[in-house]
Structure 1
Amino acid sequence: MTDSTPRPTERLSEAGVSIWLDDLSRERLRSGNLAALIAEKDVVGVTTNPTIFAAALTHGDAYAGALSELAGTDVEAAVERITTDDVRAAADVLRPVHDATSAVDGRVSIEVDPRLARDTEATAATAVRLWETVGRPNVMIKIPATVEGLPAITRTLAAGISVNVTLIFSIDRYKAVMDAFLSGLEQAKEAGHDLAPIGSVASFFVSRVDSEVDKRLTALGTDEALALRGQAAIANARLAYAAYEDIFSADSTARWAALAAAGAQPQRPLWASTGVKNPEYRDTMYVDELVVRGVVNTMPEATLDAFADHGIVLGDTVTGTAEAAAATIAALEAVGVSMDEVTAQLEDEGVNKFEVSWDELLTTTKAGLDAAGE
């Protein structure tokens, strides 16, 4: 007799959360691991970033053949070739999911060179090149939610290109991202693009908020401050969802209603950075506490494995929590933690970390190309 009890990832999917894997490597593709995660752990999408690719290049020999083939090639061109090849292959694996979900899931994201995060023109141009190079309808181009990134997001969507907006930390910036999304779709509609296949997610980072806020609360050291540790990130994300509802709910603004009537998909919130960094916290807390229909949770494999083993799905843990979340943020401000300062710092650090990872990727690739050319 077989056990018919739904596995935790299946229950999460049934609750309306799309599970995306926050990782990709050629080894994962060649071994069939990605296909296995789709079948066995309900994965329906993949996100990548420079850190992920830098790590992939330094482990194993899966890229040896590619490096040998590309020996003598400019290192930046080689990096683009390697990363777009991996994303294309992953997109092909996920294409059945994309088709079965009417272009909602089955998505694979690839990030614009993070060194361009403050350059609108270069970001927009690179987004088009990556989209055309990968050449798959289920790819998403990742663009950071910097001030300079906002117009690039609009221009990329206006061209009919799907966008994953990354590195969102503050509610105000998230509202600007949603405005950029609406503007992009309005321009796409005006240009005659079919809106239905254009996908977009807004990647709202979670665990990094707790890491920084907890550090500040520990430094303050008062009983009131210490009692607030581990609460900021979930409260911030729940307020983000409330902002999303203000735009995309059933009784939403006329602006979104007009786009929806033309076949547009909403820009879904995506919970990113969901790996728990503090070992004192439950290892699935950034999944358990952010369950609500119509969102994405992109998980590193360790978090996915943990949730598949002992994740908890108790229904919607987000809707109706905005008032309590706002009270948590107010309590943080009252003890001396400025969320505006925290989120601005995290954005700068996020861009810088991806730049460092990009440099590591270039260095690693160059070493591989040099060795292959000897």
Structure 2
Amino acid sequence: MADALKRLSDEGVAIWLDDLSRQRITTGNLAELIDQQHVVGVTTNPTIFQKAISGGGDGYEQQIADLAARRLTVEEALRMITTADVRDAADVLRPVFDATGGRDGRVSIEVDPRLAHNTRATVAEAKQLAWLVDRPNTFIKIPATKAGLPAITETISKGISVNVTLIFSLERYRQVMDAYLSGLEKAAAAGLDISGIESVASFFVSRVDTEVDRRLDAQGTPEATELRGKAAVANARLAYEAYEEVFSSARWEALEKSGANRQRPLWASTGVKDKAYKDTLYVEDLVAPGTVNTMPEATLDGVADHGEIRGDTVRGTYDQARADIEALAKLGIDYDEVVQLLEDEGVEKFAVSWNDLLKSTEAELARLAPPEA
């Protein structure tokens, strides 16, 4: 059943699950996915936690009742809940972490999305989350906003591994890689052992097609129809070209000699939104060595069931990818406008999910609070 997933892994693609809940941990489901589906990492985000925790079920009620008894604020309580899940998932994945020398076996937890435009607060939150989870196989997720870039550098310089999230544009991706290298240089200058610092750069995929296809459909011409479903893959493939360039530079080679690890491209948002496309599109067309593909479980199952892994589908495609992006420009679709819109919407959606989660957690704390003495 999982032969396609094994082939994907053999091609140098790390398979991560884009989901987490307490039930996955306590029932052994996460351990099964590691054992049977070649899963070697887990990513979370505010939306995932909102779905997992809302309602207080699936193993959360007792902890929420205990937190209510201690009269914690809702924000304090929510961090106790989410970091407990990440800590427990990290323990399940610890054998993978050890077996891969720290490369995989990691779990990501995101800074408060409402801090996305506040550099100093983002760094402070990253340090606090790393302390709360207290596991070496944790990634702290920081959004790739303009304010996030210096926060990435500062967090990396403290020896904290980072998953950079919400990357949509090629220009911003290059800035993210620069921020990572700058962080490593600062860490090395401070005398830290940089060989223990890891990072991934989460380049979002399906949302690009969703927005570009909407604009193409509004035009309704044969030329526009021909370009449907091409923007996201082309954008990601050109990101890999940029990755190859940066991580073969003299600047990188100097860091590599000091033990630095490459910041791997991670394909995020790989669940297909348009049912006209094959459900495994953003896996099969983005196979390249040294990448991570983080999948929702439905996509993971789809690859296992009917995935067609054809080897490397990225290198050697750059000219066609550029041609596809240029063709979109000729139809008046502004690339810079699209990717900025997607970044803004991404930050906003996660902030909305976080606020919804705070409200539902507050309601559960109130419901389970002991009577006043």
TM-score for the superposition, normalised by structure 2 = 0.97
- Residue 341 of structure 1 deviates from its aligned partner by 0.5
1:324 aligns with 2:324: no
The Cα offsets for residues 43-91 of structure 1, whole Å up to 9 and x where unpaired, read as: 0000000000000012633201111110121000001000001000011
1:82 aligns with 2:78: no
- Residue 253 of structure 1 deviates from its aligned partner by 1.2
User: Match of 1:340?
Assistant: 336
1:35 alignment partner AA: A
User: Match of 2:165?
Assistant: 166
Question: Which runs of 4 or more aligned residues in structure 1 lie more than 4 Å from their structure 2 counterparts after TM superposition?
Answer: none
- Residue 222 of structure 1 deviates from its aligned partner by 1.3
Aligned residues between the structures: 367
Inter-partner Cα distance in structure 2 for 1:139 and 1:91: 7
Please give the residue correspondences for 1:11-22 in structure 2 after superposition, counting only pairs within 5 Å: 11-22=7-18
Q: Which of 64, 80, 85 pairs up with 1:67?
A: 64
3-state SS of 1:19 partner: strand
Contact 2:246 2:252 in 1 (8 A): yes
The Cα offsets for residues 273-309 of structure 1, whole Å up to 9 and x where unpaired, read as: 0000000100000000000110000001111111111
- Residue 320 of structure 1 deviates from its aligned partner by 1.3
The Cα offsets for residues 187-211 of structure 1, whole Å up to 9 and x where unpaired, read as: 0111111111111000000000000
Please give the residue correspondences for 1:84-163 in structure 2 after superposition, counting only pairs within 5 Å: 84-163=83-162
Superposed CA RMSD: 0.9
The Cα offsets for residues 309-345 of structure 1, whole Å up to 9 and x where unpaired, read as: 1111110000111111000000000011111110000
Contact 2:268 2:295 in 1 (8 A): yes
- Residue 6 of structure 1 deviates from its aligned partner by 6.7
Q: Which of 344, 354, 373 pairs up with 2:350?
A: 354
Inter-partner Cα distance in structure 2 for 1:161 and 1:312: 37
2:124 alignment partner AA: A
TM-score for the superposition, normalised by structure 1 = 0.97
2:359 alignment partner AA: T
| Ranges in structure 1 where 5+ consecutive residues have no aligned partner | none
| Ranges in structure 2 where 5+ consecutive residues have no aligned partner | none
User: Match of 2:367?
Assistant: 371
1:229 aligns with 2:248: no
3-state SS of 1:319 partner: coil
3-state SS of 2:195 partner: coil
1:333 alignment partner AA: A
Inter-partner Cα distance in structure 2 for 1:6 and 1:337: 39
Inter-partner Cα distance in structure 1 for 2:63 and 2:191: 39
3-state SS of 2:152 partner: helix
